[in-house]
A and B are shown apart, each in its own frame.
Chain A
Amino acid sequence: MDRFSRLEFGDEAPQKGPFSGEPIRDADYFYKEAMKYWLGGDYELALRNYSRVLECDQTRFEAWAGQVLMLVELGEYREANLWADKALGFFPEHPELLALKAIACARDARLDQAVAYSDNSIAKDNPTPWVWLARAEVFLNRKSPISESCLSKAVGSAGELAGVIKLEAGRLLQRKRNFVLAAQYLKEVVQMLPKSALAWYELGRCQAALGLSDAVQSFEQSVRLRPGWEQAQAELNKVQNKGFFKRLLGK
């Protein structure tokens, strides 16, 4: 400490360095938090943080879309649709919001509406990876081969979002019981997003379904990244108690 450090010079507050003290809780901070929780599989906290982003900055489209996606992940499809409508009031005809509505409808077993929203979203200029992903989900529900090309387009146009899009693609395939392809995607994801408990968890589920013993490590990693995650812990216990044949048969 030098000898003049405690002297006061007018009203100017001392400048804080980038790593000194508490982080500034602005929209960016909450957005990062939301992403962190989402990739950790904690959708409730992610939703809360997306809402905080909007408290700071209502113009953040990612936060609106994130809220809709979290509602979908929480299984609240009607609310997701309602909130997407509200977001569409601020971002009219936004293809990603329409795509999210398509996903919500598809998971709520309203296939006709899902197709309509997906058609609408794909008709806009420059469809984003989320638009292709939603289309893939809609057509997977209809067991149409178009879904494969939609998935490749989603992954191909992902760019910086490759990790997240591949994660969602892997989860989608996993839900549709295409475990082999899902595991391929998710293996790439855990290399891109090694701190994502959700990615490890989903990879573990695919491996468990395929009867691979690697599932134990994946679930362990998932629990390590998000301690106290009951779902992952339950899956881990289930896998650890399984014999070879049970794992092979996926029972």
Chain B
Amino acid sequence: MKCARCQFENIPGRDRCIRCNSILGAVGAAIEVYPPRMPAWRKPFRDFMRWLRSHRVAGPRVATDRVRQGLARVGSDPFVGLVVSVVPGLAHLLRRRFREVSLLVLAWVILLASGVFLYGSGIGFLLIGLAIGLHAWIALQFGLFKEIAGFAERIVMTLVIVAVLTLLYRGLPRLLFHGYTGAHTALTIPALNVQAGDYLLVRRMVHAPERLPRGALVLVHPSRFRNSRRDVLDDERTEMVGQVVGLPGETAHIRDRVYVVGEEVLDPARFPVPEWLQGQSWRVDVPVDSYFVSSPYRVMGHGRRLTDDAVQNVSIFAADDIRGRAFMLWWPLSRRGFIE
């Protein structure tokens, strides 16, 4: 029997060619001759994966010479690699060594996501700190440790990188989420389910608001207090959360530890009076374009009698000085939700 493939003359009765092992006649057992087929639903997924592969493969290969040189520099110069490592693992990815740090990058993503989710709590800050440390470690992995031999130099370099990354982690969110910020509140408002120490998300206001509703939680800047504030206020916080109690043109005073605006007696569960104002007797006229913002400031000479001017100087804010309005309670997790 002659083999069709290699033309070798085999002994009659053989199933396979002695020389090339190709089949010569029908095999004994029945074989499947219909090939497997791809289910139609898989096609888009496979097309997508193929698209990803083709771009990954074609990218560096069809890149221009300048890009190629740049990529080569990332590999040869650890400091350039360090700069590229602003995105964790990017330097490794460009040099096709991502597998070395893939688990570290995965851990970084998990830490960062968990940190953001728990932001405002101690655990959240700790997780973000760990993410920064891990990021620094990934960046340092890229050849820098090979360049720097001394232990002390390595420690210094690590600290420098951690410091730079910390600045980056502080600055980048501000850049990305320019219109938003967050702040811990010292207010306790039972009706809004807000307690002292809660972390609120605040939407920043670029321009003065047209009219804020009574009860809105706003972010104010104590340094913007009017003249003679230092004789009353002993508060070093730069920004703090307060509650709008008096609207422009209204008169606010206190009666039986409850706010009274005009003739309206405000619900103490919704408009609690801070401790420093309790037991005092005052009456304040809210100027036009200003608001009476209630907040538990720390005042000098606790318990002393305050004049109307003192209260006015601390609690009245021009509309321009209101930085933002809180819209969401972010921490604690059990009470997370939008503020009505």
Contacts and interface: CB of A to CB of B under 8 A. Distances in A.
B57 interface: yes
Contacts of A54: 33
A82 interface: yes
B35 A83 contact: yes
Interface in B38-58: 38, 43, 46, 50-51, 53-54, 57
Interface stretch (A55-63, A186-194, A242-250): A55-63
Contacts of B38: 75-76, 78-79
A79 B53 contact: no
A203 B142 CA distance: 52
B171 to A, nearest CB: 39
A71 to B, nearest CB: 6
Interface string B19-38: 01111111100010111111
A130 to B, nearest CB: 14
| 4 closest cross-chain pairs (CB), A and B | A54-B33, A109-B53, A109-B54, A76-B38
A91 B33 contact: no
B27 to A, nearest CB: 6
A91 B23 contact: yes
Contact of A90 (B22, B36, B61): B22
Given A75-B43, A109-B57, A47 B35 contact: yes
Contact of B62 (A51, A92, A93, A143): A143
A143 B61 contact: yes
Given A59-B4, A92-B20, A109-B50, A79 B26 contact: no
Nearest to B62: A143
B36 A91 contact: no
15 contacts: A51-B33, A57-B26, A58-B27, A58-B33, A59-B4, A59-B24, A59-B26, A61-B4, A61-B5, A71-B35, A78-B46, A79-B36, A90-B22, A91-B22, A92-B20
A108 B57 CA distance: 11
Contact of A142 (B31, B33, B61): B61
Nearest to A71: B35
A4 B227 CA distance: 136
Contacts of B62: 143
Contacts of A109: 50-51, 53-54, 57
B88 to A, nearest CB: 26
Given A59-B23, A90-B22, A92-B22, A51 B34 contact: yes
Interface residues of A, number: 28
A94 interface: yes
A110 B53 contact: yes
A79 B21 CA distance: 24
Interface in A192-243: none
A83 B51 CA distance: 23
Contacts of A78: 38, 46
B47 to A, nearest CB: 8
A67 interface: yes
Nearest to B55: A109
A55 B33 CA distance: 7
Contacts of B22: 59, 61, 90-92, 94
A47 B53 CA distance: 28
Contacts of A59: 4, 22-26
Contacts of B5: 61, 91, 94
A45 interface: no
Given A58-B31, A59-B24, A109-B57, 4 more contacts: A58-B33, A67-B35, A75-B38, A91-B5
Contacts of A108: 50, 53
A93 B210 CA distance: 81
A162 interface: no
A51 B35 contact: yes
Interface in B281-339: none
Contacts of B26: 57-59
